[in-house]
Chains A and B, each alone.
Chain A
């Protein structure tokens, strides 16, 4: 059974069709890369999967572990193991990272009928995750993304992923804005997290991330459809030739 199954998904925003029939199957233990020109619909796809309400689903379905989630609220999808690392992480002033993470982790435990994690265990877990990503533990006390640099915000997204341990993680351009060392640290964090029971979807423009995390599949989205799927060699080909040769097809 696939972890995530998307069939014939079409969606629009403000009555403007953006996704025009996407089919995508993601199995446990797989890493997928989604590439494509600016404005082709990659972030839209990620947001629609996560249940963002500004988008209208015109047709198709989304299933997580065999269960349809197309009409579930964003938080229900999250509780079932869907995670989205945002392309542009937003600030929540005055709400500490720690407080935010605790509320997120608790909500998952509660929804899934698991016991609440103790404050001590939680602190330990958060410190470990921060350390793994090269974030000073002081970051946990600061407001969510408040005054964070671009790279710090991206690392903070991955920190949240490590804390929530999702089944399917969609990472929307987590590599953009990271310096070379940070990219290595973040890529390591993602690789260590990925295992045979979960799946990772990397939305990216650059081969350099894929040098660190080798994808099993690469998909190219253009104008709201997947125009080509292949193995990792497709990414290398794109790096060399750009997208124009695909769009002519």
Chain B
């Protein structure tokens, strides 16, 4: 060694998880355990109509018959579903407006950089980078604590509210679309979610309406031993457009916590939905203790002709990420896109990818996946492209790149192609590369410190995906990568 410091790529130091604090707030938390009464309790607590209670109970009974899947490239001890609490809400009456929200909660979101006061959000616009305002729905443990810019949106005819509110105020829409993309019995975790989901966001964009601002939901797990089971439903009517972003954080805890969400998107003729995720759940410590199990079902239905659904995800958090945002391309000429950056460090595991199911004519899909593994982590891309008999002239392009940092991590690629169309075109490209010592030395010789250098190299690797994120979030995603990689060189 020429130098005294050893910046080998295999070294590790602790990593900072800035969102790891706990909010000290009174909460009504259901004791651990799951049975029919718990399902009924949640439904009653939300004052739900009978059909929905029944819907949940059916899901619950279906779930009892199912077994947890084990095909993922992930390993974890058996989850005891009776040791989880299925409902936790800040105590007191539900706030009616943002002014009624507990200041402690507002402070939590401020600390996370999410202004929940419209004034603050607007002030932020004036003096910083002239970002357009973003409407935010904040979900704290099991309930939504407030949605901003509701009025502005209502003027445009856009509905953006918590799921619980939607059940009361727009029951017909909820009943029509709930479970229409991800059926109750779709899979083990979707069934569980359907039984016990607590809150989440609801978006409805009417015909020929371009949603006037970015919509965003911010999920926060705070309570210990609780699971988070939110449900998001987005409907874009003919010719509508909406861009939606979700962000997630959780405190640092020694035990693992389950997050099993369901997201359903519906795009009718000529509609477009852009759904972006920046997932930064607590990943566990460098020994692999604690962290969120992120087992999520996300699916979009391109029901209308010429409709389009894009998933963009930046996954840096969670102890285990297991999710496949998918698109069912039913409408002719519809388009599905999946852009993904999944970064794992220390003991994190990710098995993520997408399904593109081509049913309509001239349907097209694009998959760009960038997996980055550092530390002792394992990162798998799993993707399915299916072309059904009716999918005349369907096309898919898949590009799947893995970047390894250090010698002890792993990357896997599982592309599945099922084409029943001789005229279908499926292109697949895959690469695996490494942050090389030569690249690192070049940066360091030019004065750039190794952590910054690795972050820069990784950011460059992810460029094709970051380009797809709304501008303000692209910057955030870049910073998040940098933080998540802390300790990958040490």
Given known contacts A78-B444, A104-B446, A104-B448, A92 and B3 CB-to-CB distance under 8 angstroms: no
Min CB gap A101→B, angstroms: 8
Q: Which residues of A contact B439 (CB under 8 A)?
A: 90, 92
A53 contacts which of B7, B456, B460, B461 (Cβ < 8 Å)?
Answer: B7
Binding site for A on B (CB under 8 A): 1-8, 436-439, 441-450, 452, 456-457, 459-464
Contact A50 B3 (CB under 8 A): no
**CA A104 – CA B444 in complex, angstroms?**
9
Interface SS, A side: mixed
Assembly CA distance A90 to B460 (angstroms) = 14
Given known pairs A79-B447, A107-B448, A108-B447, the reply for A74 and B3 (CB within 8 Å) is yes
With A92-B460, A99-B456 already in contact, the answer to whether A164 and B2 are too (CB < 8 A) is no
**Roughly how many angstroms separate A51 CA and B441 CA in the complex, as a whole number?**
9
Bound CA–CA A51/B460 (angstroms): 25
The complex places the Cα of A79 from the Cα of B445 at a distance, in Å, of 9
Is A143 interfacial (CB-CB < 8 Å)? yes
Q: How close is A231's CB to chain B, nearest CB, in angstroms?
A: 30
Query: Which B residues lie within 8 Å of A55 (CB)?
Result: 2
Q: How far is the CB of B435 from chain A (nearest CB, A)?
A: 9
A107 touching B437 in the complex, CB below 8 Å, given contacts A53-B7, A73-B7, A100-B456? no
Instruction: Judge if A128 is at the interface, Cβ distance under 8 Å.
Output: no
Question: A103 interface residue, CB < 8 Å from B?
Answer: yes
Please list 23 pairs of residues, one from A and one from B, whose beta carbons are closer than 8 Å in the complex, sorted by A's number. Answer: A11-B2, A48-B2, A52-B441, A53-B6, A53-B7, A71-B3, A73-B3, A75-B444, A75-B447, A78-B444, A78-B447, A89-B442, A90-B436, A90-B438, A93-B461, A94-B461, A94-B462, A99-B456, A103-B448, A104-B447, A107-B448, A108-B447, A164-B446
Q: A71's contact among B4, B7, B8, by CB below 8 Å, is which?
A: B4
| Bound-complex Cα distance A79 to B444 (A) | 10
B1 & A53 in contact (Cβ 8 Å cutoff): yes
A72 on the interface (CB 8 Å rule)? yes
Among A78, A79, A93, which residue has the most Cβ atoms of chain B within 10 A?
A93
Query: In whole angstroms, what is the CA distance A57 to B439 when docked?
Result: 22
- Leading 6 A-B pairs by shortest Cβ distance: A94-B460, A95-B460, A107-B447, A104-B446, A74-B444, A78-B447
Q: Report the Cα distance A99→B5, complex, angstroms.
A: 26
Look across to chain A and name the residue whose beta carbon is closest to the beta carbon of B463. Answer: A94
How far, in Å, is A165 (CB) from chain B's closest CB? 12
Return chain B residues, CB-CB under 8 Å to A54: 437
